[in-house]
Structure 1
Amino acid sequence: MKQKDSLKFTNKIVPDTIWREAYVALSHYPELRNTPIELRFKDKIKKSFMQAQPNFGGIFKKRKNRGYTIYISKQFNIEDQEFSVHTVPKDVLIGWIGHELGHVMDYQNRSGLNLVWFGIKYITSKNYIREAERMADVYAVNHGLGENIIATKDFILNHADLSDAYKNRIKSLYLSQEEILVLIDEIHEEKEELAVD
């Protein structure tokens, strides 16, 4: 069902221009099939390209009744470089969306009070930001998006115009490519063991 500038499919609202990438990312999270999620463009997001959060009015609802919004910055600046959601490679965009869906998975496992506490700690503690971001990466990798998460890291870390200070911040907060590859190997080993059994 088409809306003004978004597509709606099974309680998901997604801007037309990124519906393919969103669909690929969402297809890796069958547990979120019945969860209302809206991906919404926003003019500017502080210090970030995307941001997932529970809908404020639903924080204290039963977990199965909560909805979530993933805000996406149409244009985002990293230092003096400006990037557009429309010029980011598709596999990178899928990885970014998959990472944010990892946050949604994490939020679903929390009570309303725990979500409030999570928000307070997230804005006051760098160590907690690191823990939350790495957890979202783990969810994405465990849901089959490891290659996309690596592509996202490569996009940032191999961008010649970005400073070492910014790249070091990314390295300190998120899983490294090496850690992601270890997780991918562990997942393959588990699948092989299950196939043998």
Structure 2
Amino acid sequence: MQQKDSLEFSNKIVPDIIWRETYVALSHYPELKDTPIEIRFKKKIKKSFMQAQPKISGLLKNRKNRSYFIFINEKFKIEDEVFDVTTVPSEVLIGWIGHELGHIMDYRDRSAANLVWFGAKYITSKNYIREAERAADTYAVNHGLGEQIIATKDFILNHSKLSETYKNRIQDLYLSQEEIMVLINEVHEETN
């Protein structure tokens, strides 16, 4: 079922309000051209603004025939600051979506059993969350979205109204801006 106020291009369903940012992020992932992805707004996602996951109905399908969701919090409240996609800069949204597409890249080659195990470890292990989030950042940087990932980190870490607890969580679980710069330089060296 297509969400109201959504565009469908090829096998992607995207809310109208973020179609441009999604298109830009997807353009960096040609491997996902044939992968069905639906982006939906959700009332509440714990501890996050966005979340990528395989559609449960497709878990037992051949890996090439799976489809995925990217859920986006309708509103994301940290302390007294409320965010939604209309208050987040375009470059930051592209970085966030690019990060979630990095998760989908990671999920693509996993078996159904491995994805279930992945989910269980993600829920129960902070070290595994760190590994998964850093992998998604790495996919995004390696696909040419390094500047946007840095913009996303800047938006979070330098936003004075965000709680220190949230900022510390981001610093602990995700690649640092310095690590991202090292990856960007490695990507540039490989392409030159």
TM-score range, shorter chain: over 0.9
Query: TM-score by structure 1 length?
Result: 0.94
- In structure 2, the partner of 1:154 is 154
- In structure 1, the partner of 2:86 is 86
- In structure 2, the partner of 1:195 is none
- Counterpart Cα distance in 2 of 1:125 and 1:93: 27
- In structure 1, the partner of 2:141 is 141
- Counterpart Cα distance in 2 of 1:111 and 1:76: 32
Q: Please list, as runs of the form range in 1=range in 2, the aligned pairs for 1:1-197 lying within 5 A after superposition.
A: 4-192=4-192
- Counterpart Cα distance in 2 of 1:29 and 1:166: 29
Tell me which amino acid in the other structure corresponds to 2:114: N
Name structure 2 gaps, 5 residues minimum. none
Tell me which amino acid in the other structure corresponds to 2:31: E
- Counterpart Cα distance in 1 of 2:3 and 2:157: 37
Answer yes or no: is the 8 Å Cα contact 1:60–1:113 preserved in 2: no
| CA-to-aligned-CA distance 1:19-38 (integer Å, 9 cap, x gap) | 00000000000000000000
Matched position secondary structure for 2:38: strand
- Counterpart Cα distance in 2 of 1:82 and 1:122: 26
Computing the radius of gyration from Cα coordinates, the structure with the larger value is 1
Answer yes or no: is the 8 Å Cα contact 2:3–2:40 preserved in 1: no
Tell me which amino acid in the other structure corresponds to 1:175: L
Matched position secondary structure for 2:76: strand
Query: TM-score by structure 2 length?
Result: 0.97
| CA-to-aligned-CA distance 1:10-49 (integer Å, 9 cap, x gap) | 1000001110000000000000000000011111111110
What is the CA-CA distance between 1:3 and the residue it aligns to? 7.0
Matched position secondary structure for 1:34: coil
Question: Aligned Cα RMSD in Å?
Answer: 1.1
| CA-to-aligned-CA distance 1:140-195 (integer Å, 9 cap, x gap) | 00000000000000000001112323211110000000000000000111111xxx
- Counterpart Cα distance in 2 of 1:33 and 1:165: 37
Greater shift in the superposed pair: 43-52 or 173-182? 43-52
What is the CA-CA distance between 1:96 and the residue it aligns to? 0.3
- Counterpart Cα distance in 2 of 1:82 and 1:99: 21
- Counterpart Cα distance in 1 of 2:134 and 2:168: 15
Answer yes or no: is the 8 Å Cα contact 1:102–1:135 preserved in 2: yes
| CA-to-aligned-CA distance 1:69-122 (integer Å, 9 cap, x gap) | 000112111233211111100000000000000000000011110000000000
- Counterpart Cα distance in 2 of 1:98 and 1:66: 19
User: Number of matched residues?
Assistant: 191
